Amino acid sequence: MTELSFNEIVKMINEKNLKTINVCGSPGSGKSTLSTNLSQILGYKLIDLDDFLYKENCNRKTKDEDILELKQILSERNILIDGTYSSTLLYRIDKVDLFIFTKRNVLLSLYRFIKRLFTAKHLKCGERLTWKTLTLILNYKNVEKDIFTKLIPTEKLVIYKGI
């Protein structure tokens, strides 16, 4: 896995003419910040999976419903997807040109996630504090090892440590 800075990622996307980018990582790792900045610099449409994979009452859609949403999303070009959602990762692997993994210290991710609970004007469904989300943050090293190093081909994966 290659570790790149923000500018190196932008250069790589432009040089390789990559059209479908997916930013993944633990809750609180900086996915949304990185996604927003990249979409602005590249002129790509930003798609936050939190906006598509929940019903109005904040219940998660079924995996089949998720796949239908993703089919529509992935039919577009010049898109930047913000969100991990490992349940549909296998579906996305062949359709995404580049996965960017935001690697952060677990305690920093937890701090940022909790801080957002108190500072955000509006929390999306995927940003709510639940036992599942807390467990995910605390155990993300295992998710990282199992998903990112085993499933995603190394040529489609870069690590962004950022600031």
pTM of the model: 0.87
Per-residue pLDDT reduced to its tens digit, 92-128:
999 999 999 998 888 888 888 888 778 877 777 777 7
* Res. 1: pLDDT tops 70: no
- Quickly state the pLDDT bin for 155 (edges 50, 70, 90): very high
Give the model's pLDDT for residue 56.
83
At residue 163, the pLDDT reads: 59
Mean pLDDT of 19-40: 94
102 in Cβ contact with 23 (< 8 Å): yes
Burial class of 162 by CB neighbour count within 10 A (0 to 12, 13 to 18, 19+):
middle
Q: Strand 79-82 and strand 45-48: pairing?
A: parallel
Q: What pLDDT is attached to residue 108?
A: 81
- In this predicted structure, what is the pLDDT of residue 47? 96
Q: If pLDDT is split at 50, 70 and 90, which confidence band does 41 have?
A: very high
Which structure tokens are listed for 40? 């602005």
Question: Which DSSP category does 147 fall into?
Answer: I
CB distance 67 to 91 below 8 Å? yes
Between 141 and 70, the more confident residue is 70
Q: Contact, 77 vs 19, CB < 8 A? A: yes
Q: Report domain 2-160's class.
A: alpha beta
From residue 110, alpha-carbon distances to 18, 30, 91, 102 in Å are 31, 11, 28, 14
pLDDT digits (tens, 9 = 90+) for 45-56: 999 998 888 888
**Which residue did the predictor score with more confidence, 55 or 160?**
160
- Apex CA 109: angle with CA 105 and CA 110, to 5°? 115
Residue 10 CA, distance from chain mean position = 16
